[in-house]
């Protein structure tokens, strides 16, 4: 078996994608942050001292997608043609669900950017709400779907 992220001397390297075909690529990732009812009420009423939690998390998630190659050592710095995050407050399960979709036209995938967007958005929610309750749990960050590239479409099948 050959590993793509190691050179002949066994040292880490970034994979050369220069021979790969440019294709339109999208990735959608999701995750959840479990919060208290008090936090949900404050977010819904825009009553958090640090400001509008979901608006700030939206911007942070987009910024996270743009900075992925600076955070994950072997990720390529790629052009992002679009990034969007959606939030759903689930009062019954005391959580906020985050879905990020990121797009590019390039030679390598954009899955890590979508996963990073969800991660940074959830960390931002934690940061903005920790004064109310530190018992929050960030959970279930996963790739839902990806399109483009040699491997084609991947769609998560829930079991």
List domains and CATH numbers for the chain.
23-147 (3.30.70.640)
Q: Is 132 left (phi over 0), alpha (psi -120 to 50) or beta?
A: alpha
Residue 44 scores a pLDDT above 90? yes
* DSSP for residue 55: H
**Predicted pLDDT at 2:** 64
Looking at residue 4, its pLDDT comes to: 75
pLDDT over 70 (residue 122) = yes
Q: How do residues 137-148 score in pLDDT, each as one tens digit?
A: 999 999 999 999
Positions marked active-site: 127
Write b or e for each residue in 86-100: b if 16 or more Cβ atoms lie within 10 A of its Cβ, otherwise e. Answer: ebeeeeeebbbbbbb
For the question of whether the overall pTM of this predicted structure is more than 0.75, the answer is yes
Q: In this predicted structure, what is the pLDDT of residue 50? A: 93
Query: Which residues, in sequence order, are CB contacts of 34 under 8 Å at separation 6+?
Result: 93, 94, 95, 136, 137, 139
């Amino acid at each position: 078996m050959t590993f793509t992220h190691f050179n002949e001397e066994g040292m880490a390297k970034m994979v050369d994608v220069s021979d790969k075909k440019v294709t339109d690529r999208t990735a959608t990732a999701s995750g959840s942050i479990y919060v208290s009812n008090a936090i949900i009420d404050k977010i819904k009423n825009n009553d958090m001292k640090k400001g509008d939690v979901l608006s700030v998390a939206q911007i942070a998630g987009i910024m996270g997608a743009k900075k992925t190659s600076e955070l994950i050592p072997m990720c390529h710095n790629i052009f992002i043609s679009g990034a969007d995050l959606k939030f759903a407050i689930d009062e019954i399960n005391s959580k906020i669900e985050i879905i990020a979709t990121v797009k590019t036209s390039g030679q390598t995938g954009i899955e890590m950017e979508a996963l990073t967007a969800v991660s940074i958005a959830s960390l931002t929610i934690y940061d903005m709400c920790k004064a109310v309750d530190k018992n929050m749990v960030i959970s279930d960050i996963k790739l839902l779907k990806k399109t483009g590239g040699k491997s084609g479409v991947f769609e998560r099948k829930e079991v």
